[in-house]
Amino acid sequence: KKPDVIIDFSHPTVIDELLEYCRENNIPLVIGTTGFLEDGLKKIDEASLEIPIIKATNMSIGMNILFSLVEQTARILNGRCPLDIEVIESHHNRKKDAPSGSAKTIVASIERGLGEERKHVFGRSGQCPRESGEIGVHAIRGGNIVGTHEVNFIGEMETIKITHEAHDSSIFARSALLAAKFSN
């Protein structure tokens, strides 16, 4: 029996076969996989002209609210005060990619709010004085952390922190099911 929708949390290397199957069978696709190279992203964009596709670096509703909040915060604060921005993400010790796809989406959201791309500094070690305007990105891997993302907008006299913490990985499945209902 043909599925009503396919939800994919597998690996970026299977995208060609997955898109081909969905296109041939006119099946909507929800993609929660991250780590795609430019070629894979281009193929997803092309397929989205033929079939419904929802692609998100994080399916959690809370994380998608965080993406919006950091964009708005960056837009509001931009140019009003000297601002250092740091993104810290934490995941379990088995996570393969660093920084996470969600951290990359956070940085992209911040840059949309700022209206420009910035230099990204991944971790810090040795002599590395902070350059004006850069965005620091840090990855922590340990234990069974489901996922924590924190964004710090640090000014001279105050700091704004926006944080999301997933307590149970089932949140991603629940949110993907909501996306599947929307796409079908």
1 is catalytic: no
Catalytic entry in 43, 55, 95, 138? 95
What pLDDT band is residue 127 in, cutting at 50, 70 and 90?
A: confident
Burial of 51 (0-12, 13-18, 19+ CB in 10 A): middle
* pTM summary value: 0.86
- The pLDDT tens digits for 154-174 are 999 999 999 999 999 999 888
Confidence band, pLDDT 50/70/90 cuts, at residue 53:
very high
- pLDDT, tens digit (0-9, with 9 covering 90-100), for 82-107: 899 999 999 999 998 899 999 999 99
Q: Which of 91, 104, 149, 164 is catalytic?
A: 91
pLDDT exceeds cutoff 70 at 2:
yes
Exposure string of 19-44, with b = 16+ CB inside 10 Å and e = fewer, is: beebeeeebbbbbbbbebeeebeebb
The question of whether 95 is a catalytic residue gets the answer yes
Angle at 114 (CA atoms; ends 109, 119), nearest 5 degrees: 80
